[in-house]
Amino acid sequence: MTPSVKRICAAATACAVVISTTALARDKRDPGGMISTLDFSQRVTVNKNPALEPGSDSEIYSTRTYLNYNFSSETRTQLFDLRVGSALKFSTTDASSDIRMGSVDPRIYLSYSQYSSSSRLDVTANFVRGSIGNINPLLDAADPLDPDRLAPDFAKLTGSGRRDAVGLGATLAIWNDARFGMSFSANLSHLDYHDATHPALQDTTQGSYLIGTRYDISEVLTATADLHYTSLGVNTTDGSRTGIDLGFTLSQPDGSYSGQARFVNGEDGLQTGLLFARTLERPTEIYTLSLGAARATTGEVFPTGYVSVQHEAPDMDISLTAERRLNISTDDTEEMLTTLSLGAATQLSEYGRLGMDVDYGDSLGLVNDNRATLSSVKVSYYHALSEDWTASARVLYNTRKATGEERADNTSFALTLSRSFDLRH
């Protein structure tokens, strides 16, 4: 572990101790809901070319024993969440009879929120370590600071090596019950690689800081202005960008209309963007559609947008998200990022549930025209054996095609048996 990662992990650990101590102390004075569980699962997997290397047909047979501890405490004024997990793995390949054993996939996530009618404080910290050859770029590689977004290095995750991802974040919002409000946030993320075979995987540290303002023009119309600064360090190279976002939100009985203009100035020039959105809310569905355009520092103009559909019913859930945006990649250059995620699950019986997920990601570099396209299809079946025990089967197919590389395919099949233990009793 490099000195930078050690410092970040030490800060996260100290933050965890302070937050957990504060949360537990407050719980004694203000008792509320508490959840403490230990999740156990045993998974057997057959995985062909998990590293998504072109021309490889190697197969890995493995069994993993996962243990995950989850603790959550909620009172009238605060929420604390802690999740810790790891796995013990035994594996062999079709080319060797040797059995390898080791602890894999350690992770820790914690969050703390304290809120009142006039203010709110949110603090998060997480650490995830994984083998690059076993990370699914579209399903496992989440952004260290935003789990709903793909990691900035998803298009380069191929080959072998180790990847450490660290994220720290804090946001303070004040005067929430007043006509004028402000927010302050600071975030730090770090990606650290060890013995990575792909040359584009370079250690990256990103810091972002924001000062936001909100003004309620009327009961339904709100204006916002955010000033932000971002620094990005790639190995020994540093870069920074300063920007401002101007926006509005018009609330409606069935949703809202909104718009945003963005101006970001960096060493390579000015980047601008304009986006308009409509959110429509129904009893069982939520629809969001946004359309706009972005101008890169190269002078090119690209259409951008975001689509989200969420449908919930007693016997079926459907979700769809699609996004196209101008992004800054881990090598501090501009890229057009296009992503798609479609998920559907239906209840087959009282105990059985069938799900299907389709994911797509495309990264196009604007400086070098390098492109990486990834896709993933997953079909899963879950069966409740009892109130605590669940069995599942999963079939997964992934593809990856990058500029200058042949297409790579990955197929895997997994059987899992899991149980959750309630530790409150």
Give me the CATH number covering residue 269: 2.40.170
Question: Per mean pLDDT, which range of 276-280, 289-293, 405-409 is the poorest?
Answer: 405-409
**The most confident of 59-73, 86-100, 125-139, by mean pLDDT:** 59-73
DSSP state of 6: H
Using one digit for the tens of pLDDT, what is the confidence trace for 298-311? 899 999 999 999 99
Q: What is the pLDDT of residue 28?
A: 42
Q: Which helix (H) or strand (E) holds 352?
A: strand 352-365
- Mean pLDDT, range 99-108, rounded to an integer: 85
pLDDT in tens, 361-385: 999 998 888 899 999 999 999 999 9
How do residues 154-174 score in pLDDT, each as one tens digit?
888 888 899 999 999 999 999
User: Does 401 have pLDDT greater than 50?
Assistant: yes
Half-sphere exposure of 334 (CA within 13 A, CB side): 24
Provide the domain count of the chain: 1
How, if at all, do strands 59-74 and 285-295 pair? unpaired
- When the pLDDT of each residue in the chain is averaged and rounded to a whole number, the result is 88
pLDDT band at residue 236 using 50, 70 and 90 as cut-offs: low
pLDDT for the residue numbered 14 = 42
Residue for token pair 């025209």: 369
Residue 166's pLDDT is what?
Answer: 94
Q: Are 307 and 320 in contact (CB under 8 A)?
A: yes
The pLDDT value recorded for residue 77 is 94
Distance of alpha carbon 255 from alpha carbon 257, whole angstroms = 7
Among 388, 369, 382, 385, which Cα is nearest to 415's? 382
Give the model's confidence band at 352: pLDDT under 50 very low, under 70 low, under 90 confident, else very high: very high
pTM of the model: 0.85
Range of the structural domain that residue 66 is part of: 3-422
What's the confidence (pLDDT) of residue 358?
96
What is the percent of the chain with per-residue pLDDT over 90, rounded to a whole number? 64
Per-residue pLDDT reduced to its tens digit, 201-219: 889 999 999 999 999 999 9
| pLDDT of 45 over the 90 cut | yes
pLDDT of residue 26: 41
Q: Which two tokens stand for residue 3?
A: 């000195």
At residue 351 the predicted structure's pLDDT band, cuts being 50, 70 and 90, is very high
CA distance 85 to 101: 17
Which pLDDT score, from 0 to 100, does residue 102 have? 79
Q: Are strands 316-328 and 301-312 parallel, antiparallel or unpaired?
A: antiparallel
